[in-house]
Structure 1
Amino acid sequence: MQSMVVQLEEGKDNGISVRTEQYKSFRPQLLLVLGLFLAGVVTIFIISTNKYTGLQSVVTTVTSSFVPRREEEPDGLSKWIQPPGVLMHNMSDEELLWRASFWPRRKGYPFKRVPKIAFMFLTRGPLPLASLWERFLKGHKGLYSVYIHPHPSYTAKFPADSVFYQRQIPSQLAQWGRMNMCEAERRLLANALLDISNEWFVLVSESCIPLFNFTTIYTYLSQSKHSFMDAFDDNGPFGRGRYNENMEPEVPIAKWRKGSQWFEVDRDLAVTIVKDTLYYPKFREFCRPACYSDEHYFPTMLTIEKPMALANRSVTWVDWSRGGSHPATFGGSDITENFFQKIFDGIHCTYNGRNTSMCYLFARKFAPSALEPLLHISPKILGF
């Protein structure tokens, strides 16, 4: 037992002796470790400082990378005032009409704006009179825009130097006398409104022609105090006789109007048309053949909303003298000086409160066979 204690004590003494020796030998090592640790701290501090400086450089570099964009859009208005580069888009009608209804409430423009005429072609397909329109528009770039709404199965193909090149908008079926005809017209207006420079909006068809040169028509529209929407009160069976009492109270019979679908409106009325959600549902539900919405929707709605803005006449001439539900169509044999003289003479209307004989700026309906005679006679008769 004593031996075991001695052994334990010897072991204890020996252990103390070993630790002491190890401690003595560890002191230089400890100093070395501390020195290395301090050197490491200094190194980390230097690296951290360099990293921070580098981060500042990176941030500065990233910030600098945005400068060119700001230089491209110095006033921040470019995305609002630049017309769409491509007319084809994937917006639904609801999205398009919502977007097109944006309207500055402040008068004037904080940039140089040259107002343009938007020519909106509502067509079944090809434009057989395109060559005549090309001649009419030649030399007036920047004063007009072109939009084409054809049958959805048709794709317009024009050369790159044509005024009609890539001017087709996303379209849907438009049927004569149906509400989808008005929807097509609103679709044209909405797409044209996306160009802030468009001020006057003219609805034409593939069978329409201009009756004067571009400068004359531009001056006529730009100086007019009114928009040209045909809107009259017809007490007969084809006027008030088409009215449905279910349209009240939004559409009272006293405001029920009829007119030609071929119109010209300014930007204010165009926005009024595309933003409408009050009258449109009434017409869609209660104006169906034999109520033809394309003859009643716009004339009635604008008579209620903006009656003083309307000239209550169209600037597109048509001939109903042959009777029937459609106006006369004119072919190549009809295109004579005498024919146009009948259009220009003997007509009187009001323009800015004064009587005038210059009432029509466009005419229809012209067949494809009329193109060559029209190109031949237009310099002398039409002025272009």
Structure 2
Amino acid sequence: MPVELDTWTIKIVWVFTQHGKSAELMRVTDLLVTIFCAKACGIRGMACEKCQHFSTCRVPVLSLAQMLVLPLEEGKDPTVSIKASQSKPYPIRLLQLFLLFLALCIAFSVISMYTIKRFGVPTAGATVKPAFKPCFDEPNTLDRWIRPPSNLLHQMRDEELFWRASFVPQIKKYPFRRVPKIAFMFLTKGPLPLAALWERFLKGHEGFYSIYIHPLPTFEAKFPPSSVFHQRQIPSQVAEWGKMSMCDAERRLVANALLDISNERFVLVSESCIPLFNFSVIYDYIMRSKYSFIGAFDDHGPYGRGRYNENMVPEVDITQWRKGSQWFEINRKLAVNIVEDTTYYPKFKEFCKPNCYVDEHYFPTMLTIQAASLLANRTLTWVDWSRGGAHPATFGRADITEEFFKKIHEGKHCIYNDQSSSVCYLFARKFAPSALEPLLHISRNILGF
């Protein structure tokens, strides 16, 4: 790396040149170069032969002509000239490129602003998407609102459930292809001992029915994934016979079934119920009916009006008091009436006890007051009260014969769509678990499935 002369050395030379001659200048120059070379080589004194001439020095020395002679010839301060020589002019080529780039940027900006103003081209900011995205992006389409819940074990309280289930579209025509379904609502204590018979009854009719199970809260149904009852249990509470908690369980079943917009008819059955016909016959019979099948008759005896409490006035007058079977079939309109009721429920809960058996009076009375013209005033579930007692007869293995089912159907007459009909019952109860095997044996020939 070149070594520059000390400032004081250059000053001496400069002063000398102002007053001396050229020969003397050359001698002084040689002396200074020798001294500087010795200093650069790290040798004190001037004994080193290699430093006697700067051309042989190990460290190259700047040419004195570059440092002194030219500036001295011009009569200028050498220190100023040296500093000035170190600065270089800005390259003209680079300046030209910078000006060209600046011109292009200005032109592009002008064209972009004109295009946005003239054609409405969105800016880059308008297309930027937020960096945060939810874990799942559910499309906000109609399917989101009409799709039934995938998990029946929700966390809603009864008040929330009834409120949600009471939503009713004000436009009657559906904007999508809707296949009306029957909701089979099983009000049970626990297991379904006749599940195999229902499996056979429902097989091949997927999309035309739905199932809901309300057992005791301590019971956990364990059906295989292939079963129609798999994961069809709803959140439940204790239901006691003859008390308002029984009606609460029924309302809970109806409300959960209403969450499926395709459910059009609602059938309440128990674990001891069986179908008396194949699915197609029952489906057509229910769907074509103009009325809902719920018993609601005026019983003037001690088990009818005798259970009425005068404190139910003015909401319920004694002439409006009705009695009927617990097991009903209703359409969607009446199902909404049941879950949205806040007028009659408090009265029945407070005054229909202890021997009132509220499950036999609450729904028949309320629906008679609200929509008597929609009731067939009969039930679709056959039971046998001939043996007497507080509960109907239970049938086991020995009772399941062809003659037994003939007695259920023969000699029956009822009104169906304002006309006489011999088909009056679609379901029957009560059947013990021991009846399952003979029922499966005769179901194809007797029941049609």
1:326 to 379, 388, 391: 391
Q: 2 CA distance for matches of 1:126 and 1:276?
A: 31
**C-alpha displacement of 1:312:** 0.3
Pairs within 5 Å for 1:241-320? 241-320=306-385
Percent identity reads 69
Matched, 1:60 2:122: no
**C-alpha displacement of 1:105:** 1.6
Q: 1 CA distance for matches of 2:223 and 2:432?
A: 20
Pairs within 5 Å for 1:1-384? 56-57=123-124, 59-62=126-129, 72=139, 76-384=141-449
RMSD: 2.8
Letter in 1 for 2:298: D
Q: 1 CA distance for matches of 2:346 and 2:123?
A: 59
Letter in 2 for 1:126: P
Local SS of the residue matching 2:196 = helix
Q: 1 CA distance for matches of 2:128 and 2:439?
A: 63
**C-alpha displacement of 1:223:** 0.5
Aligned to 2:4: none
Structure 1 stretches of 4+ with a deviation exceeding 4 A read 55-59, 63-66
**C-alpha displacement of 1:63:** 7.9
Letter in 1 for 2:127: T
Q: 2 CA distance for matches of 1:373 and 1:244?
A: 46
TM-score, normalization by structure 2: 0.72
Local SS of the residue matching 1:148 = strand
**C-alpha displacement of 1:221:** 0.3
**C-alpha displacement of 1:183:** 0.4
**C-alpha displacement of 1:85:** 0.7
**C-alpha displacement of 1:79:** 2.1
Cα gap change, 1:77/1:238 in structure 2, threshold over 3 Å: closer, same or farther? same
1:312-353 Cα distance to aligned partner (Å, 9 max, x none): 000000000000000000001000000000001011110001
1:134-176 Cα distance to aligned partner (Å, 9 max, x none): 0000000000000000000001000001000000000001000
Q: 1 CA distance for matches of 2:245 and 2:259?
A: 21
**Structure 2: runs of 5 or more not aligned:** 1-94, 117-121
Letter in 2 for 1:62: K
Letter in 2 for 1:60: T
Letter in 1 for 2:429: R
**C-alpha displacement of 1:77:** 1.5
Cα gap change, 1:63/1:225 in structure 2, threshold over 3 Å: closer, same or farther? farther
Local SS of the residue matching 2:361 = helix
TM-score, normalization by structure 1: 0.84
**C-alpha displacement of 1:97:** 0.1
Q: 2 CA distance for matches of 1:281 and 1:240?
A: 19
Local SS of the residue matching 1:94 = helix
Q: 1 CA distance for matches of 2:413 and 2:130?
A: 65
Letter in 1 for 2:158: D
Q: 1 CA distance for matches of 2:124 and 2:280?
A: 58
Q: 1 CA distance for matches of 2:218 and 2:301?
A: 38
Q: 1 CA distance for matches of 2:201 and 2:260?
A: 22
Local SS of the residue matching 2:256 = helix
Q: 2 CA distance for matches of 1:243 and 1:86?
A: 41
Q: 1 CA distance for matches of 2:220 and 2:123?
A: 54
Q: 2 CA distance for matches of 1:344 and 1:129?
A: 21
Q: 2 CA distance for matches of 1:171 and 1:58?
A: 52
Letter in 2 for 1:373: P
Cα gap change, 1:112/1:63 in structure 2, threshold over 3 Å: closer, same or farther? farther
**C-alpha displacement of 1:56:** 4.8
Q: 2 CA distance for matches of 1:138 and 1:219?
A: 16
Letter in 2 for 1:321: S
Letter in 1 for 2:257: A
Q: 1 CA distance for matches of 2:125 and 2:302?
A: 77
**C-alpha displacement of 1:107:** 1.4
Equivalent pairs counted in the alignment come to 340
